Chains A and B, each alone.
Chain A
Amino acid sequence: MSTDLFLNQDKVNELEPFEGDERTRAMLSPYAVPRTVSLDLDDDLVEHVEFGYSEEETEGGAAALDARSDPKVIVATGNETQKVLSLDFTPAVGVDGLRRVAKRLEEQALGIQSKAKKLSYVMTARVLTEFVIAIALSRGDR
């Protein structure tokens, strides 16, 4: 079952990462700010997450996030902007698994040279974390 979620843009703006100081600031381009998230759910397990943006972009490649296999995460990025287009999990993960994937994304972002790709990894991690928090809140657990 696929679930599409429209992201609250005010919340997204709050989550948006940046680099630099008050005199120079690098941020995501307008085309790399996620607008929607689409999840393939099977028995509360997520196999695939897709991010929607204001401008469609062809995939530039997909690569393993890291060497880990708990789960193995394949990250597909855009050809032009290198923004994160989708994540695939093997095996599928539950809500707690998503939280761990978000942490791994943040860790990997630290080593990425490309500013656009780095910021997109961090943004993706933050959106996933927010999603996990929203699910937890809706279930009544903290």
Chain B
Amino acid sequence: MSLWSPSSWTKKGVADGVEFFFAATSAALAPWVTLAKQADKTTPAVLLGVSAFLTLVAKYASRTLEQREKASGEAHVRSLAARAVQAILAKMQEYYFADEAGDERYKHRVTLFKCVEDAARGKHLAIFSRVGVRLDSQCFWRLDDNHPDGCRGVAGKIWYHNITDIKIAACDWPKDGEPALKARYAQSLDITVAEAEALNVKSRAFAGAPVMVSGRKWGVLLLDSLKDGFITDSPHKKGLLNRYTELVGRVLTEVLS
């Protein structure tokens, strides 16, 4: 007997078939029906969850955008500040070392150090802007708020003592590597021989002052020269150092605040 034989379609068979059809359909739809029944209870919670999730995503996206814009804005401000300061330092170098012949001007530099802190170096003075040779220098000077010995280099001492300072090395750095002269040079600048050896440029004279930004100590402006006689405490040169230090501080206060 064929399965599809009409002879097998008795009334009872039809009734059984209908029952089977509904039973099978019900079984197949059972999960959906259950879900549908539960939907009335769960929809508000689900909607709330979804909406909370979407809100979080939107907030995250918005914050990320804001942070990107802020970072971009801050980078722009930093770039503006650096360019403005660079122009001021260039003028300062021109006026302060005005009595130097043009081709020898490279022997004198003006550097603005900024106080920064990171895990590797701790608190230190890093180059923010420089006019003169070794613009790409990674030179830094460690700082210690509690002891002057922990503040390294002329810049570090200026930072610690909060003073304008002039230092002339006792001698030039020896070209022949004479150890006694190396020691004399380093000692007169209050640095170790190793620190002196690490310097790209072994300058003879230094002058500098702390820079205040928004009423807080921010960094140190430092002049250095390979030649003795150009950095002095004459009223004219001290006046220039003071005025330019204040100018740099004011510009940074305006730009960074």
Q: Which among A22, A23, A29 is the interface contact of B164 at CB below 8 angstroms?
A: A29
Q: Does any Cβ of A come within 8 Å of B161's Cβ? A: yes
Q: Does any Cβ of A come within 8 Å of B242's Cβ? A: yes
Contact present for A29 and B210 (CB under 8 Å):
yes
Q: Which among A20, A29, A56, A114 is the interface contact of B215 at CB below 8 angstroms?
A: A56
Q: Does any Cβ of B come within 8 Å of A54's Cβ? A: yes
Contact present for B246 and A54 (CB under 8 Å):
yes
Residue numbers in B under 8 Å from A124 (CB-CB): none
User: Least Cβ distance of A77 to chain B in Å?
Assistant: 11
Contact present for B161 and A115 (CB under 8 Å):
yes
Most chain B C-beta atoms within 10 Å of own C-beta, residue among A27, A30, A57: A30
Contact present for A25 and B166 (CB under 8 Å):
yes
Closest residue of B by beta carbon distance from A55: B212
Q: Does any Cβ of A come within 8 Å of B219's Cβ? A: no
Q: Which among A10, A27, A31, A82 is the interface contact of B165 at CB below 8 angstroms?
A: A27
Residue numbers in A under 8 Å from B241 (CB-CB): 30
Q: Does any Cβ of B come within 8 Å of A116's Cβ? A: yes
Q: Which of B70-78, B130-138, B231-239 contacts A (4 or more CB under 8 A)?
A: B231-239
Contact present for B246 and A23 (CB under 8 Å):
no
Question: When chains A and B are docked, how far (Å) is the Cα of A57 from the Cα of B162?
Answer: 14
Q: Which among B166, B170, B188, B217 is the interface contact of A80 at CB below 8 angstroms?
A: B217
Q: Does any Cβ of B come within 8 Å of A3's Cβ? A: no
Contact present for B216 and A30 (CB under 8 Å):
no
User: Least Cβ distance of B74 to chain A in Å?
Assistant: 24
Q: Does any Cβ of A come within 8 Å of B249's Cβ? A: yes
Question: When chains A and B are docked, how far (Å) is the Cα of A17 from the Cα of B162?
Answer: 15
Contact present for A13 and B238 (CB under 8 Å):
yes
Question: When chains A and B are docked, how far (Å) is the Cα of A31 from the Cα of B170?
Answer: 29
User: Least Cβ distance of A124 to chain B in Å?
Assistant: 16
Question: When chains A and B are docked, how far (Å) is the Cα of A82 from the Cα of B160?
Answer: 12
Contact present for A119 and B163 (CB under 8 Å):
yes
Contact present for B164 and A30 (CB under 8 Å):
yes
Q: Does any Cβ of B come within 8 Å of A138's Cβ? A: no
Question: When chains A and B are docked, how far (Å) is the Cα of A115 from the Cα of B249?
Answer: 22
Q: Which among A23, A28, A32, A54 is the interface contact of B168 at CB below 8 angstroms?
A: A23
Please name 13 further chain A to chain B contacts, defined as beta carbons within 8 Å, in addition to the given A20-B166, A30-B242, sorted by A numbering: A13-B235, A13-B238, A23-B188, A26-B165, A29-B245, A30-B245, A30-B246, A31-B249, A33-B242, A55-B212, A55-B215, A82-B162, A115-B161
**Nearest 3 CB-CB pairings of A with B:** A30-B242, A116-B162, A27-B164
